[in-house]
Chains A and B, each alone.
Chain A
Amino acid sequence: MEAVASVQNHWLLRTWKSSIGAKAVMAVTGLALFGFVVMHMLGNLQVFLGQEHINRYGHFLKNAPEILWPARLGLLAFVGLHILSAFRLSLENQAARPVQYAHQATIQASVASRYMLLSGMVLLAFIAYHLAHFTLGMTHPEHFHLVDAQGRHDIYSMVILGFQNVWVSGFYILAMLCLGMHLSHGVSSLFQSLGLNSAKYRPTLQLGSRAFAALIVIGNCSMPIAVLTGCLKLPAGVTP
């Protein structure tokens, strides 16, 4: 019994149970996910440097399990915690106002801030599809098993083949817009949640948050768009 009580009273658990503690978890995990998204985008943008670059990058990651697996597990934990707190907080928020206003009005809350859960869920769906698509090769196994001249996994061709499908590209673009929305509020919000905000920094943070979100949207969307508009072409020898 005492053990149970001491666990229940543990500061970590109490913090997690508090609203501000759970928000801190959202913020820290959000920051980590944001960091991943940035790094991932920078990695992916190598498609513009050609097949060699991106395939080499992918090959390097695959063959560095001491980096890959901790990163994967970490990421999984972050996403898990992020989603867990997101749902918990959202449920509590809904319970906090059992009767809605008949006349709904909003003064200044941004659309992005009001639909974080929705944009997050689209992201979740995207991540699921995306993993099935590029990591597990479940949606288009025919693209997944290509190898390049050096016998490496041909990420370059896989991505281009994937994005040549208008529906796939469309979904990616939509998901990236959601990501942009999520981050345009999320990045500045995480500073606020961690108490790293004040009247002095506030305008800069808000602007910075939107700018980063825009960069992510532009960077990520540039790839499907480049494929659709034919700027990125399949290497010789690979046919759709």
Chain B
Amino acid sequence: MNLTLQVWRQKNKDDRGGFVTYEAKDISPDMSFLEMLDVVSEELQKRGEEPIAFDHDCREGICGMCSLVINGIPHGSERATTTCQLHMRKFKDGDTITIEPWRARAFPVVRDLVVDRSAFDRIIQAGGFVSVATGGAPEANSLPVPKKDADKAFEAAACIGCGACVAACKNASAMLFVAAKVSHLALLPQGKAESAERVKNMVEQMDKEGFGNCTNQSECEAACPKEIPVDFIALMNREFLKATLKA
């Protein structure tokens, strides 16, 4: 099939950038979205132009590196699917596809479709861990964790840190990402000891990074490739308010 692409190109972070239109010809429906971009980039390079820069690594939906807004929706309109796992059979011959980078002040564009998500790392640095030095761990089975809690914690821990939640949120809020980590650790006994400090520090860092505020629109959960539910945002709010009010 043949497609028209409107791709955001931007030389570097200071460049103003703009859309460039490309024709993607003879695209097989079995290609992944990134493979389609590979084909377009190969053509560009044959003409001596630079390939389209986009982040990707595992192409299996787990590393969280790929990050394209496809027709206004982060990772495209297929539910529970990362960009790298989206396949071209979801598009029709003749479609025009707009491809943009994640848009948020806290995620400045580095080049083309590549953005800087180091804000997420700094949020984790603020407290997204259990303070246990190597070697200091007790026997693994000495602390039973109810299966229900472990499963719930896992559901939150499944976050791949892609940032689609921020890209999708009308307020560019990072609440879902932060809530996922806060909840993962708050739900497990191992994380309880630090839970009050953790949530306060992580939220403080999140605010510092210039993300927006959550107005409970749940757009993030719909865009999240791991289907992390906004219930975790409520859990984080509760943790935060509890920590704040605690004497």
Contact = CB atoms under 8 A, between A and B. Distances in A.
A89 B214 CA distance: 9
Contacts of A188: 216
Interface in B15-31: 19
B231 A102 contact: no
Interface in B206-220: 206-207, 210-219
B173 A96 contact: yes
The number of chain A residues touching the other chain, given as a range, is 35 or more
B98 A197 contact: no
B100 A199 contact: no
B52 interface: no
A104 B244 contact: no
Interface in A149-202: 185, 188-189, 191-199, 202
The number of chain B residues touching the other chain, given as a range, is 35 or more
B40 interface: no
Interface stretch (A1-9, A13-21, A50-58, A128-136): A13-21
Given A96-B105, A109-B218, A196-B238, A102 B170 contact: no
Contact of B171 (A17, A93, A100, A197): A93
The winner among B104, B211, B244 for most chain A CB atoms within 10 A is B244
A95 B213 CA distance: 11
B207 A192 contact: no
B69 A101 contact: yes
A89 B216 contact: no
B41 interface: no
A102 B96 CA distance: 13
B114 interface: no
Contact of A18 (B204, B221, B233): B204
B212 A20 contact: no
A198 B234 CA distance: 7
Contact of A93 (B69, B172, B223): B172
Interface in A1-53: 11, 15, 17-24
Contacts of B69: 101, 103
B182 to A, nearest CB: 11
Contacts of A89: 213, 215
Given A93-B170, A93-B213, A95-B210, A109 B219 contact: yes
A22 B77 CA distance: 32
Given A96-B210, A101-B69, A107-B222, A185 B105 contact: no
A11 B200 CA distance: 11
The winner among A22, A95, A105, A114 for most chain B CB atoms within 10 A is A105
A195 B214 contact: no
Interface in A66-120: 89, 92-93, 95-110, 113-114, 116
B84 interface: no
B203 A96 contact: no
Interface of B: 6, 8, 19, 69, 71-73, 77, 98, 100, 103-106, 168, 170-173, 175, 203-204, 206-207, 210-219, 221-223, 229-231, 233-242, 244
Given A105-B71, A188-B216, A191-B234, 9 more contacts: A19-B175, A20-B240, A93-B173, A95-B105, A97-B104, A97-B170, A103-B72, A105-B72, A196-B234
5 contacts: A17-B207, A23-B237, A97-B105, A97-B170, A109-B170
